[in-house]
């Protein structure tokens, strides 16, 4: 079975400072990893994904994430936070082909609060 | 271009009633997914369609839940004999091909069972 853990319910950061939102995963094989963001009363928006290749992936709105296989982590990062980044962030995993489900398993979410 | 749309945006019903939730995926997307998101939690998988067929319905909580996608485009999630515990936001997503592509989510239907 696949699972995702987001150990922090909330992350607080000052505008202009770097931010990190943590994610660890568990799958029996190799993973596909995703980050989504959810703004109030809106659907989930795709930020970035790791499929294969370079462990550092870059996504929308200046976000990036680093895949670390040995630590089974896929932390989301941004060098300089904006107040408009304040939202709910979800990490998700899907096991590579071999699992017929193709479903995404999501973490519980981390609320990012960026203060001016 | 148009994204995934879901109707209604809100649905209030009484315990025991039947409800239908509709999802209109992005044109050309062959894979369609239903998830359920309870307050303060991440989305949980319900069912996945590849084309017209349900390729994986392992997330449906019980036989009161059923979904169809008869023409490989629009999908309807059907809930019979609703219970208060069914209250949640029901999310639909679609993707081009199932394996490596990201899923694009609709805004969701907020279902409230009184």
Q: Where are the domains of chain B?
A: 5-99
B64, pLDDT greater than 60: yes
In angstroms, the separation between the Cα of residue B73 and the nearest Cα of chain A is 18
User: Which residues in chain A are closer than 8 Å to B55, comparing Cβ atoms?
Assistant: 100, 102
Residues of chain B in contact with residue A108, where contact means CB-CB under 8 angstroms, are 40-42
Domain boundaries, chain A: 3-115
Q: Which CATH class is domain B5-99?
A: mainly beta
Which tens digits make up the pLDDT trace of B36-57? 999 989 999 999 998 898 888 9
| Confidence category of residue A101, pLDDT binned at 50, 70, 90 | low
Per residue in A50-90, pLDDT tens? Answer: 988 899 999 999 999 999 999 999 999 999 999 999 999 99
The residue among A89, A104, A106, A111 with the most chain B CBs within 10 A of its CB, best to mutate, is A104
For chain A, give the percent of residues with pLDDT over 90: 78
Average pLDDT over residues B50-76: 93
Q: What is the pLDDT of residue B86?
A: 97
Question: What pLDDT is stored for residue B97 in this prediction?
Answer: 74
Query: What is the reported pLDDT for A97?
Result: 61
Gap between the Cα atoms of A105 and A2, Å rounded = 7
Residues from chain B that touch A34, judged by Cβ atoms under 8 A, are 102
According to CATH, what is the number of the domain A3-115? 2.60.40.10
Q: How many CB pairs under 8 A join A and B?
A: 63
- Residue A98 is predicted with a pLDDT of 52
Residues 6 or more apart whose Cβ sits within 8 Å of residue A74:
A23, A24, A25, A33, A35, A50, A65, A66, A67, A68, A91, A93
Strands B104-105 and B88-95: antiparallel
Q: Looking at A48-52, B7-11, B63-67, which range is the least confident one?
A: A48-52
Identify the residue whose tokens are 């749309």. B5
Gap between the Cα atoms of A28 and B9, Å rounded: 37
- Which of B40, B45, B104 faces A103 most closely, judged by CB atoms? B45
Q: Give B98's pLDDT tier (boundaries 50, 70, 90).
A: low
- Residue B2 confidence (pLDDT): 83
């Amino acid at each position: 079975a696949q699972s995702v853990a987001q150990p922090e319910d909330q992350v607080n950061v000052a505008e202009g400072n770097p931010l990190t939102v943590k994610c660890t995963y568990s799958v029996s094989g190799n993973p596909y990893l995703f980050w989504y963001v959810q703004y109030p009363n809106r659907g989930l928006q795709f930020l970035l994904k790791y499929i294969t290749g370079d462990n550092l992936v870059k996504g929308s709105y200046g976000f990036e994430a680093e895949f670390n296989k040995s630590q089974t982590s896929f932390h989301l990062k941004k060098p300089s936070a904006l107040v408009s980044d304040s939202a709910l962030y979800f990490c998700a995993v899907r096991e590579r082909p071999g699992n017929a489900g193709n479903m995404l398993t999501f973490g519980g979410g981390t609320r990012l609060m960026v203060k001016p | 271009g148009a994204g995934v749309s879901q109707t209604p945006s809100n649905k209030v019903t009484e315990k025991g009633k039947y409800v239908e939730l509709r999802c209109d995926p992005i044109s050309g997307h062959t894979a369609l997914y239903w998830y359920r998101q309870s307050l303060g939690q991440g989305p949980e998988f319900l069912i996945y369609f590849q084309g017209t067929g349900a390729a994986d319905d392992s997330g449906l909580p019980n036989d009161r839940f059923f979904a169809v996608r008869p023409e490989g485009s629009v999908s309807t999630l059907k809930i019979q004999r609703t219970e208060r515990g069914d209250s949640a936001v029901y999310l639909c997503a679609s993707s081009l091909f199932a394996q490596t592509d990201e899923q694009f989510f609709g805004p969701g239907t907020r279902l409230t069972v009184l």
